[in-house]
Structure 1
Amino acid sequence: MWDKMRAAFLKNEKGSFIIEASLVFPIIFITIIMFLYLSIYIYEHAQLYTYANKAANRIAYAWTNSKTDPVTFELKAPGESDGLYWRLTDDRMLGSLIGLSGGDSGSISVGGSGSGLVGEKLAKFTGVTIPDYVKGTVSYKNVLVEKAVVVELNRPLSFPKVVEDLLGNDVKVKASATVTDPVEFIRTIELIKLYGQELQDSGVSAILQKQKGAEKK
């Protein structure tokens, strides 16, 4: 009798779907939730990088003249500029030459203000490209052979503990743009050519003087 009841029980498939679903559903549910959180993280990372890259490129593009409009890059009046020798003082070139700045020529917090022409440029163009709720720093580095604007942004996210252990709770991005200064580049090339020619002429003159002295002897 017991054997018949056990065989009938084993053959009965009623409720099997519920049991299988109770085993599989948590796995599927957790996987979907993890994909959702991963999508949020990727979206926030991409959005922050867009802000950082846009700010870095705007600042680098208009670096040679702080009088330009931060949105249209137009001048309010023709001929406006930062002066003739701003690269020597306000651009920290002298500090880079003698090693005082250490390559870091100035930085500000996003939404803050800075001192000097460097801080003014960083604050002016950052304010129109990075939203207020985003935190981070914007810095300008002048190492003589390369000038660059570096933007580092971060935004905390509220994730469950398990997700934070895997992805972290803070999205961080970093973008940089090289400052191109054609006027300074041309001036530097002309200066090198001038001094090179002077050194070459002085060298030739010294050789001719030696030859004349040898001929007299």
Structure 2
Amino acid sequence: MKIRSFFRNSRLFKDEAGSYSLEAALVAPISALLVAGVAFLLIASAQSSLTYITANESSERISQHWNNSYKHPVTGMFSTFQRDPLFWRWNQDSSSAWLWGGEAGETSSLVRLPAGDSSDGSILSRKLSGGAAGWPAAYRGAGSFRGIGWNREVAVEAAVPLSLPGGFGLPDAAGGRSTKSIAEPAEFIRNVELALGYVPALKAVIEGDKFRNLLSPWVDKPDIVPDVDRTLSFRHHSDAVRYLRTLVRGQERRIGTEETGKWRLIDAMDKHEVAHQTYIGPKQPNKDVRDQLMKDAELIRKGKVKGVVWHFFRRTGDATAGPSPALKKLLQDNGIVFVIHS
């Protein structure tokens, strides 16, 4: 009882002087640690976003400049006298893997970025090394290529060390990764035309069973090689569109436009974001065709598609097909590839 009375009546325990100082001494360090921790996490998050942006930009440049390793990695400029060897794809790029079925043609390559002297000097290494152009000095990473037949892609990883206090479970580096597919409309068309030209020639000189065994990786897969014996002429535009969608494995898509009209209907958009358009019979640069051309040029210029290919087929009963000389020039001037199927 005396002890309880002492604590109840003592001025020492009734006086509140110094309580604010005690609270501040306890709360201030905790608040400072929380604020510092949030700031460090924001720094790490920002660096992760920056490394992803850098990796995405680098992979985009590599995929767009894939057809010529001498192109400037940022601007894409190059001299007309500087080109890769004619047949470099046959043993390095896996584009010809369709000749032996696909899996046997798998190709891969890895380059540390920035490459410096570590590059082996091959064409693939030179193409991947350009991905580090314009990187900050502290950035490190890697560029890789993987290709199986026509399915080819490049990946870029970028990382930067973080100078954050240790012992708090904070990351010591921030990184990002981006993967892009390689789309080369002209090379794709050349390979398709090569297959369509050589398959009937081989079939004519090789016995049926031997021919089927030679092409078994492909003839056993539906819709890989179209019917090459078919006469490529169509009575209706819709028939040609269906054939083209099977050929490029594409789907119809509608994309909005701003400069010409309100939208552009894509007959077949393939997985590489290349737009394929279908035309029957001879074509002149009339108003309707010019409007379609300007829409496609706008889509290319604004990056809404990776490329545009116009396919010209013969109309049934008509031996002529394709663009007129004036239309050819307009297509070439606007970066549109055209193919005349006969």
Instruction: Please report the TM-score for the alignment, with normalisation by the length of structure 1.
Output: 0.75
3-state SS, counterpart of residue 164 of structure 2: coil
Q: 1:155 to 1:144 in 2, by over 3 A?
A: same
**Counterpart of 2:167?**
162
User: Which residue type is aligned with residue 128 of structure 1?
Assistant: A
Task: Report if the CA contact (8 A) 1:153-1:172 is conserved.
Answer: yes
Q: How does 1:59-208 map to 2 (within 5 A)?
A: 59-77=62-80, 81-93=83-95, 99=103, 102-104=106-108, 106-112=109-115, 113-123=119-129, 125-163=130-168, 165=169, 167-191=170-194, 193-194=196-197, 195=199, 196-198=226-228
Gaps of 5+ in 1: 202-217
User: Which residue type is aligned with residue 193 of structure 2?
Assistant: E
Determine the C-alpha separation between the residues in 2 that align with 1:91 and 1:102: 9
Q: Greater relative contact order (Cα 8 A, min sep 6): structure 1 or 2?
A: 1
Task: Report if the CA contact (8 A) 1:139-1:149 is conserved.
Answer: yes
Determine the C-alpha separation between the residues in 2 that align with 1:88 and 1:102: 12
Determine the C-alpha separation between the residues in 2 that align with 1:16 and 1:64: 74
Give 1:32 deviation, angstroms.
0.7
Q: 1:193 to 1:15 in 2, by over 3 A?
A: same
Q: 1:160 to 1:100 in 2, by over 3 A?
A: farther
3-state SS, counterpart of residue 167 of structure 2: helix
**Counterpart of 2:333?**
none
1:166-192 Cα shifts (integer Å, max 9, x gaps): x32122221111111111222234345
Determine the C-alpha separation between the residues in 2 that align with 1:138 and 1:100: 23
The structure where strand makes up a greater share of residues is 2
Q: 1:182 to 1:16 in 2, by over 3 A?
A: same
Determine the C-alpha separation between the residues in 1 that align with 2:33 and 2:227: 73
Task: Report if the CA contact (8 A) 1:56-1:149 is conserved.
Answer: yes
User: Which residue type is aligned with residue 134 of structure 2?
Assistant: T
Q: 1:150 to 1:4 in 2, by over 3 A?
A: closer
Determine the C-alpha separation between the residues in 2 that align with 1:185 and 1:94: 10
3-state SS, counterpart of residue 50 of structure 1: helix
Instruction: Please report the TM-score for the alignment, with normalisation by the length of structure 2.
Output: 0.50
User: Which region of structure 1 is more displaced relative to structure 2, 180-189 or 56-65?
Assistant: 180-189
Cα RMSD of the aligned pairs, angstroms, is 2.8
Determine the C-alpha separation between the residues in 2 that align with 1:143 and 1:20: 67
User: Which residue type is aligned with residue 188 of structure 2?
Assistant: F
Q: 1:18 to 1:54 in 2, by over 3 A?
A: same
User: Which residue type is aligned with residue 81 of structure 1?
Assistant: R
| Total equivalences in the alignment | 195
Give 1:87 deviation, angstroms.
2.0
Determine the C-alpha separation between the residues in 2 that align with 1:3 and 1:85: 97
Gaps of 5+ in 2: 200-225, 232-342
User: Which region of structure 1 is more displaced relative to structure 2, 23-32 or 187-196?
Assistant: 187-196
The match for 1:14 among 17, 20, 32 is 17
Identity %: 25
Give 1:161 deviation, angstroms.
2.7
